[in-house]
Amino acid sequence: MAGGQERILRRRIKSVQATKKITRAMELIAASRIVKAQARVIAAQPYADGITEVVRNLQSAGGAANSAMLAPREEVRKVATIAVTADRGLCGGYNTNVLRAAEAEMRHVEGAGQENVLATVGRKAESYFRFRDVPMEVSAAGFSDNPSYEDAREVSKHAIAGYEAGDIDRVQIVYTRFISAGRQEVVTVQLLPLDVPKDAEPATPGEPTADYEFEPSPEELLERLLPRYAESRVYAALLNAAASEHAARQRAMKAATDNAEDLILTYTRRMNRARQDAITTEIMEIVGGAEALSQGDGAHEDAHEAELYEMTS
């Protein structure tokens, strides 16, 4: 029985060791990708700042008077929610946190008497809402860990078209913002109507500000730039989500590797105990057999002596 238990534990140890190798490899891969993803987030920031500055200047020049993407709707009837998750699991509570936040936003929209329009990014969000029979207007997947600007353009294209056509009155995106390798947070950001930051105060009182001449008109320039501005915000959200996914997967695989090591140690101790029990049992059986043999030889000698005594008496 003890020997059988030892064999079972040995097989379990080998299985956990194989799993540990996989989780350790995934941890190292995720750790290396965090650096690249964070670099992409930082590299995309100058473009976002630049286009924001241009849109701000056009807005100050009076180009936002007739822009549909900047003016909020008087009555909000339909709200589109874009939920950004990962294509794969094994990243802790990353996907669950986004899905919970998206569902909370949708419940809030329904509570306000408005209609929900759902769009998903990532296979996890798609399968989650499909399993719950929640209709999805748009579903995009296959690029969660390495998004491109074209992916952001495809994601934002339907939202922009629906908003400009009047079918959607507000668009919001739910994603995980990357703060550092050890900290990420799920946020909900309004995408449309666009909220362009106002002009900042000059660094020095009385400092002159630049005056621009626009060709063509500010209205026409703003009409062309606002879709790019919306795409840049979606792209920034996808990059943050990708970096957060890698960070979450690195932490999850680190915890899995540590748990595997603890499990191997526990199984090893149990296997050694089972081996010691088996050895002790074998020793006890040998000692018991030897004792039985010695007792049997002693009884045989007593009987032989009794027989000789009868013959001589």
Contacts 24+ apart (CB under 8 A), 268-275: 268/13, 270/9, 271/6, 271/9, 271/10, 271/13, 274/2, 274/5, 274/6, 274/9, 275/2, 275/6
**Nearest to residue 138, comparing CAs of 166, 95, 187, 171?**
171
pLDDT tens digits for 179-224? 988 899 999 999 888 876 655 444 444 555 556 666 677 777 788 8
267 and 296 both lie in a single domain = yes
Residues 242 and 267 in one domain: no
203 domain residue, yes or no: no
pLDDT per residue over 65-115, tens digit each? 567 777 788 888 999 999 999 999 999 899 999 999 999 999 999 999 999
- Pair 301, 155 in one domain: no
* Co-location of 77 and 217 in the same domain: yes
Does residue 145 fall inside a structural domain?
yes
Task: List, for residues 125-152, the tens digit of each pLDDT value.
Answer: 999 999 999 999 989 999 999 999 999 9
Are both 280 and 191 inside the same structural domain? Answer: no
Among 76-85, 149-158, 277-286, the least confident range: 277-286
Domain with 116, as residue range(s), is 28-197+213-249
In the residue annotation, 153 being an active-site residue is answered as no
Q: CB under 8 Å to 127, separation ≥6 — which residues?
A: none
CB 156 within 8 A of CB 191: yes
CA pair distance 280, 275, nearest whole angstrom: 9
Catalytic residue among 26, 91, 152, 247: 91
Flag whether 236 is in a domain: yes
